[in-house]
Structure 1
Amino acid sequence: MTSDTPARRRARVFSRRRGAPSRARRRLGAAVRMIAALALAGGVYTAFAPGAFAEDTVQLSAVAQEGKALYDTSCITCHGRDGQGVEGRGPSLIGVGSASVEFQVGTGRMPMTRQEAQAEQKPPQFDDAQTEQLAQYVQELGGGPELPEGPLVEDIKTNPDALARGGELFRVNCTSCHGFGGGGGALSSGKFAPGLHDATAEQLYAAMLTGPQNMPVFGDNQLTPDQKKQIITYIQLQLQQEKDPGGLFNLGRYGPSTEGMAIFLVGITLLVFTSLWIAGKS
């Protein structure tokens, strides 16, 4: 075994002292490379940043520009500049899409006259063309769900099963709030599910797509576009057009229950008075 002589110890110390500057140089070199990389990244960002900011300025279509003019005079007070929303007044419109605007504005729910539990349907303040302009402006402003092109009601001649499938889907997904006959129903805290007897196909599809107020959103992963159309087909061809079997005084399409009850009560009352009249005569 080689002995650890004083000369060897001095040689090891001298070697460590000579290695120290080498490590310092490596650290300095790493720091220089890091600074150079940051400077390069900053230069690239500076070169391309003006183009990126220029792209943020959205070039609106002619229809959207008309919608912006309407928005600036009727909606900006509650929803803010560029649809960013105003705290305590109205939510942001970024990402709600044209479908939400066509439902809310087309049914007169927006603009709201006052803050309350639920925006009720009323005569719309904008015609169809103006509603389309507002919807296009919001769509180009922040994107979001859009109504599909083409008919929203299935042709039962070419697709005879659409009505039956739509009825099944309606009973599973809609009756808990809107009732079996589509007459609507009360919810909690002063809210309610509206009736469906005067709803258009576009309004029905937009409501399923956007989930206004208390209604859940039925995205394409919950209900496919074809299933949405089948539900609309059932509502429009069955609930809206077919005669109510309950007659004039109905209980939400439960059948002739009200007529039977009225006949029973009136008949019993007539029998009682007839019995009393006969007893009085005798």
Structure 2
Amino acid sequence: MAKKKATGRRHPLASVTLLLVGLLATGGVYALFTSSATAETNASQEALIEEGGKLFAANCASCHGMALQGTSQAPSLIGVGAASVDFQVGTGRMPMAYTGPQAEVKPPQFTEDQIAALAAYVASRAPGPAIPDESLLQGDGDAAIGAELFRINCAMCHNVAGAGGALTEGKYAPHLSDIEPAYVYEAMITGPQNMPVFNDHNISPENKANIITYLKFLDDNPEPGGLGLGNIGPVSEGLFIWIFGLGAIVAITVWLTAKSN
């Protein structure tokens, strides 16, 4: 009697076919959601840039030009990047309250969302330094390395304790106490006003984070060596000691001499 053929057995390619179908389905769904998310992100970014353009036209173009080309009253903003806008507008330096040797720090005139929109608009016109990543702003680097770098690159203007100092023609280097880490980093990569630019070849991102760590250490440990005399610098402090210290010694000497007579 002939045997019946076995039924219910899978074809050798069935498993491979099912695997391919599953991969294609998964890939299709992923591509669909990714495309939707990308499209939504692009639309959101375009809306942000459009809002920034309106804010720029209403508040900045009269000085910097409609095409960011600059005028006789203000410099070009082509290529300054989002970091420069975030620094200048976030610290209230821009818009300037009045014309002077340099822009003064004051309360910001725009909200955080408006500043982000302005930064996105300027960055969209030409490439430039971007707003730094949060991982570089935590103040968890090496304070000792940061202190050495600060003394070499920054202390001649900002004072070794970050107390600031006078420059020429009525300009000055501002103090660096209780400054937002993002603004410190942005100042280094954009070189606002009289400050030089420290790009990643001059000072690496890691070492910029170390400098921020040193400044945070100064904020958390004011006057670690005792009376700071206002952090006016070694020359001024030395002159103070020379005049008042030596004067006190002379006064005591005269008093002891007069008493003995």
Question: Percent of aligned pairs with the same residue?
Answer: 42
Unaligned runs of 5+ residues in structure 1 are 1-58
Change (3 A) 1:119 1:267: same
2:78 maps to what in 1? Answer: 94
What is residue 150 of structure 2 aligned with on the other side? 170
Determine the C-alpha separation between the residues in 2 that align with 1:124 and 1:266. Answer: 48
Bigger shift: residues 113-122 or 165-174: 113-122
* 1:214/1:155 CA distance change after superposition, 3 Å: closer
Unaligned runs of at least 5 residues, structure 2: 1-42
2:49·2:117 contact (CA, 8 Å) conserved in 1? yes
**Match in the other structure for 1:241:** 220
Q: 1:94 to 1:155 in 2, by over 3 A?
A: closer
For residue 130 of structure 1, what is the amino acid of its counterpart?
A: Q
Shift of 1:226: 0.5
* TM-score with structure 2 setting the length: 0.71
Distance 1:185 1:155 in 2: 24
1:269: how far off?
A: 6.1
| 1:173, distance to aligned residue in structure 2 (A) | 0.6
Deviation at 1:94, TM superposition (A): 1.0
Q: What is the Cα deviation at residue 270 of structure 1?
A: 8.3
Aligned to 1:42: none
Q: What letter is aligned with 2:52?
A: G
Distance 1:267 1:72, change over 3 A: same
Could you tell me how far apart the structure 1 residues matched to 2:111 and 2:253 are?
57
Alignment match, 2:166: 186
Q: Give the Cα–Cα distance (whole angstroms) in 2 for the partners of residues 215 and 134 of structure 1.
A: 23
Distance in structure 1 (CA, Å) of the matches to 2:253 and 2:86? 57
Q: What code does the residue aligned with 1:83 have?
A: L
Deviations 1:10-56 (A, max 9, x none): xxxxxxxxxxxxxxxxxxxxxxxxxxxxxxxxxxxxxxxxxxxxxxx
Deviations 1:219-250 (A, max 9, x none): 1111111111111111112x222121343743
Query: How many pairs does the alignment contain?
Result: 216
CA distance in 1, matches of 2:146, 2:206: 10
Contact 1:249 1:259 in 2 (8 A): no
Aligned: 1:109 with 2:89? no
Q: 1:152 aligns with which of 130, 136, 143?
A: 136
- Higher RCO structure (Cα 8 Å, ≥6 apart): 2
Q: Is the 8 A contact 2:81 2:122 kept in 1?
A: yes
Which residue is equivalent to 2:126?
Answer: 142
In 2, Cα distance between equivalents of 1:122 and 1:196? 15
The 2-side partners of 1:155 and 1:216 are apart by 23
**Alignment check: 8 A CA contact 1:246 1:253 kept:** no
> Is the CA contact (8 Å cut-off) linking 1:177 and 1:185 kept in structure 2?
yes
Q: CA RMSD in A?
A: 3.0
Distance in 1, Cα, partners of 2:112 & 2:246: 49
Supply the distance in 2 between the matched residues of 1:134 and 1:127 (Cα, whole angstroms). Answer: 11
The match for 2:57 among 72, 80, 88 is 72
**2:67 matched to 1:82?**
yes
> Is the 1:247–1:259 Cα contact (8 Å) retained in structure 2?
no
Give SS of 2:134's match.
coil
Deviation of 1:129 (Å): 2.1
Hey, what's the Cα distance between the residues in 2 that align with 1:269 and 1:68?
Answer: 69
Aligned residues of 1:64 and 1:137 also touching (Cα < 8 A): yes
Contact 1:100 1:210 in 2 (8 A): yes
